[in-house]
Structure 1
Amino acid sequence: MDKTKKPKKVFVQGPINPDFVAKSIASHQSKTGIGAHALFLGQIRADQKEGGVVTGIEYSAYEEMAEESFHQIRESAFEKFDLICMHIYHSLGLVPTGEISLFVFVSSKHRKVAFEASEYIVEQIKANIPIFGKELVSEGGYVWKENS
């Protein structure tokens, strides 16, 4: 792992806008060595919970620690997979149901590598990043979200 690389900014305030996703894809069209992209978009579900239906999730994190953990996941993915590029964005603050809170975008020469790397990265994020989600429910309360 390259300790000299500075961690990239991962967090964005509020939902990840679909226009941002589209611009990210469009900005890679000039990189003609890429043969495959894999995208993962995490969207907020309106799950039924005790106290009502989820209306959104309010995310918080120990940002410095989380950014370092994201950096470690990024570096390990580049070591493990033959990737050309990778982008990870995660929301902080309130994200209403139906909106995007996680955007993982990987590019490689071949689709199998892109698919495998994307799954690896998402699983590592869920298991290792200190992000906390408070699910807001329709009856006015909240439930702390547990990753599964």
Structure 2
Amino acid sequence: MSEKKPKKVFMDGPIPPEKIAKSIANHQSKTNIGAHSIFLGQVRADEIDGNIVQAIDYTAYEEMAEKVFHEIRESAFDQFDMTCCHIYHSLGQVKSGELCLFVFTSSAHRKIAIEACNYLVEEIKAKVPVFGKEIFEDETHQWKVNQ
């Protein structure tokens, strides 16, 4: 793996759609890119035991999580011929319908961008110490979930 400086992954609150649009726009000048793949994780308004999820409160062991995010990102660069890779994850409360995870990969060809994006999402879900607590209309009824 290369010795690149870790990038900041965590954002307070939901990921604004404008950030996604700006990320896409910022890549238009990179004419060696032929494909992008994007994964957007969104909080669902699941019904559990008759209660509807209103939000998820995300917490993490930030220093450890940032290190794991970096290792996963660098591993993806080692395995896939990507041009760019960006990952953002929410901390704090994210309401149902809002975005909590943004993974954006770029490559000369679509297959690589798609495979790298899928790899990153699966590795993040499996390895990063991020935790979510579901918040219901009835605050007394809460469950722990991962990401």
- List gaps (5 residues or longer) in structure 2: none
Q: How many residues align?
A: 146
Task: State yes or no: 1:144 paired with 2:144.
Answer: yes
- List gaps (5 residues or longer) in structure 1: none
Partner of 2:79: 80
Distance 2:128 2:50 in 1: 27
TM-score normalised to structure 2 length: 0.96
Equivalent residue runs for 1:64-75 within 5 Å: 64-75=63-74
1:50 shift after superposition: 2.6
Distance 1:138 1:145 in 2: 17
Partner of 1:99: 98
1:51 shift after superposition: 5.6
- Percent identity of equivalent pairs: 60
Q: Which string of whole-angstrom CA distances, capped at 9 and with x for unpartnered residues, describes residues 24-67 of structure 1? A: 00000000000000000000000011361110100000000000
- C-alpha contact 1:51 1:137 (8 A) present in aligned 2: no
What is the RMSD computed on CA atoms of the aligned residues?
1.0
Distance 2:69 2:146 in 1: 19
List, as ranges, runs of 4+ consecutive aligned residues in structure 1 with deviation greater than 3 Å.
none
- C-alpha contact 2:130 2:146 (8 A) present in aligned 1: no
TM-score normalised to structure 1 length: 0.96
Partner of 1:33: 32
Distance 2:142 2:20 in 1: 29
Cα 1:91–1:127 change in 2 (3 A) is same
Instruction: Provide the secondary structure at the position in 2 that maps to 1:20.
Output: helix
Distance 1:114 1:104 in 2: 11
